[in-house]
Each structure stands twice: as C-alpha cells, then as structure tokens.
Amino acid sequence: MDNVTSIDAARPKVLEFFAGIGLARLGLESAGFRVAWSNDYELSKRSMYEAHFGMGDSSHTFRLGDIAGVTADELPSDASLAWASSPCTDLSLAGGRAGLAGKESGTFWEYIRLLRELKTKGALPAVAVLENVVGLATSHGGDDLVAAISAFNELGYSVDVLVIDARRFVAQSRPRLFLVAVTDPSDDVDSVSDLRPDWLQWVFGDANLRTHRAALPAAPAAKLNGFGELTEAMPRDDARWWDSERTARFIGSLSAMQLARITEMQKMAGSRFRTAYRRTRNGVAMWEVRPDDISGCLRTARGGSSKQAVVRLGDGQMQVRWMTPREYARLMGADDYRLDGVRTNQALFGFGDAVAVPAVRWLAKNYLVKALSGGSDSMRPSVDFAHR
C-alpha cells in the first residue's frame, strides 16, 4: 500500500472540469496523471462516473453542480494540469452558433475565472487544456478562438492549437480542437505537424496572440476501416434487429444512389457493417448510410434523432438496428467501461457528449507530460497507469 501511495504522489495531479462520464480521466490516468478533482452538473453522468471509477476514494473529489458555483478554495492547490471539455452546444454546426456568448458554451469563461482565482492564490496549473469541437475555430469568423486564446494569454499562458481526430485511433470520425496552454513553452516554436492543418495557421501568425508550436511525433494515420470489428456479436434473430415494417421504412427513406450502393453490398458473400444517420433534407427526414467501414461522429442522443443505426449487409440480406451502448463505448476507446445498470439513452448521451480516450492518451503522453517537464523526456512516467 505504501508503494501505491508513493506512486500516486509522484503522478501529476489534474483538475477535471466538465468531467462527464470520465473519459478524459481514463486517457489522462493511462498516461501517468492522477485526476484529483472533477466537476459536472449532470446527475446521470455523475452516476455513470461513480459506477465506473468507484466511490469513497479519499484521493478524489467529484463536485456535482454548475461550475459557476465552484470557487478556487474548493480546488486542490497543487494541481499541475487543468483539463476542460466544455460544452460544444453553441459552437457546433448543429447548434445555434451563439459561440462563447452562448448559455452553455459560455461556461468556458467560468473555467477561466477559476484559473484566474487559482493564479491569485499562487496555484495556477502549469498546463491548462481546453477541448471542444472544431467549430470553435470558425465561430464568429474566428473571433471566439481569438477570445479564448487571449483569455489564456492574460493568465500568463502561451497557447498551442491542435486538431486531433479520433479516427486516428478508433473507427469513428470525430475531429476535435485542443488548446494547450503552457506557462513555460519550449523553444521549438516553428515545429510542423499535420495536427495543425493549413486552415488553422492564421492563429500562429496573429501578432496579438502569444502562441507556440511544440514539437510532436507523427500521429497515427486516420483509419480507413474497422467499425465492423467493433460491432457486438448478434444473431440474426435477435429482437434488437428491426422488424420488416420498420426496415422497409428505412429503405424507403434512402436516396436512389444510396439504395443502389447498399443493394450491391447486400448481394455479396459474408457480412459487412455500415453505420447510418438520420438527417433532414428539404424538410424531410432521410437516412444516410456511410459508404465506408467507419462510424460517423457519435452525438448526444436527445429525442432519438441523433442516434446512429447499424446496417448489416451480405448473403442476400439486410438488417438494421440501433447502435448499442457497448458499441458506443468501443468507438470512444472505452471498451471496458462499466455499463451494468446503465439505461441505454443514458449511456448514449454520456458517450456521445465525451472525448475519445485514445486521443486524450496520445496528447497526454506526447505533449502534456513533456510540457510539465520542460520539454524533457526525463520526467516521463516509466510505466503507463491504467485505472485501478
């Protein structure tokens, strides 16, 4: 036990804002960090979080409630890293695009407030991360991204901006924007990485912003397939496959081009799996089936319209069903997440509103640890710590 305590004490301590069901924690802790404090206002997410990680851990606090009610006095004063996966509702294309002035995405400013309070107490974390949708980079013509970077700059941070797609690690198209704010950035300010695409380079050319570009190893190439390997084994007579009437309605909503494509796949030997997503085109709800063996971006399942379906094709047959919670978990890199007693829509909402575990793990291993050690590998944890 003493050995475990000493190991935990050596792991950089993390504050986890907008924690959701804890997928950022899974990624960070598998890279050698220790999440000591977490916050979210959704009771259903907190219940999943505690069911997975356990309750009664004296080294961790979960603060349920609006971040606006949190003060720096409640936070550990020795955290090295602050992580925030703030709401994307007002920044996504599916939202109202109110940006950082919106009711939900505007909670980013509460994160900044708490960092400011920590700085006043002499406890500002050396590294702070903001994760959100790529829409943050274009919201209000880029003004929202400038405002976010400027807010970190005013706290004394230099900011790096990256786009990491979960598709580099799992069979899901899920690009996300990561702002990495560092009090003491390394000197490699001109480092090139394909995680900083051309359309994002204007950020680093803005003389009014303090930015940096840390050296990074090449990230894995985007996956071209793999969804079929993640599907749950399910016999053809399983009740979760839709009945003939519902399947006929599904087929009737497809465009002629999509119908022709899946009809050809239906004739092939063996089983192939594709994901389908319901969209509104010219006021009409239609299903669209992805042509590749990759899942579309998982989203929060509100009202049923944003849930993805799984299409099984081959051997002259076609079957359709909703994607399962376990498949959502696998697509987020959290295959072992505990789902006993979790309602289906609760799980889909929790995973659809989260950050992919392997994307966090890669960033933590290849950037955050080095940022805390002044760019040196000498302080990199010698082992990876999975959640215990």
Give the CATH number, domain containing residue 48.
3.40.50.150
Q: Are strands 308-314 and 175-182 parallel, antiparallel or unpaired?
A: unpaired
Residue 93 lies in a domain: yes
Cβ proximity of 105 and 83 under 8 Å: no
**310 beta partners:** 275, 321
SS3 labels along 219-242: CCCCCCCCHHHHCCCCCCCCCCCC
* DSSP string for residues in 116-166: HHHHHTT---SEEEEEEEGGGGTGGGGHHHHHHHHHHHHTT-EEEEEEEEG
Mean pLDDT, range 282-288, rounded to an integer: 86
| pLDDT band (50, 70, 90) for residue 243 | very high
Mean pLDDT, range 35-40, rounded to an integer: 96
85 to each of 38, 107, 224, 311, how far by Cα in Å?
Answer: 12, 11, 27, 31
The confidence score (pLDDT) of residue 91 equals 44
Matching residue, tokens 């309605």: 249
Mean pLDDT, range 36-61, rounded to an integer: 92
| pLDDT band (50, 70, 90) for residue 284 | confident
Round to whole Å and give the CA distance between 21 and 252.
37
**Exposure string for 200-215, b = 16+ CB within 10 A, e = fewer:** beebbeeeebbbbbbb
The confidence score (pLDDT) of residue 144 equals 87
Residue 115's closest CA among 23, 181, 159, 61?
A: 181
Q: Are strands 284-289 and 272-281 parallel, antiparallel or unpaired?
A: antiparallel
User: 124 and 272: one domain?
Assistant: no
Instruction: Count CB neighbours of 84 within 10 A.
Output: 25
Residue 136 lies in a domain: yes
Domain extent for 246? 233-323
User: 77 and 219: one domain?
Assistant: yes
User: 114 and 180: one domain?
Assistant: yes
Round to whole Å and give the CA distance between 22 and 180.
19
User: 207 and 284: one domain?
Assistant: no
Number of domains in the chain: 2
Cβ proximity of 276 and 290 under 8 Å: yes
Sorted by sequence, the CB contacts under 8 Å of residue 73 that are 6+ apart come out as none
Cβ proximity of 313 and 266 under 8 Å: yes
Residue 382 lies in a domain: no
**pTM for the predicted model, two decimal places:** 0.90
Cα 29 to the center of its chain, rounded Å: 15
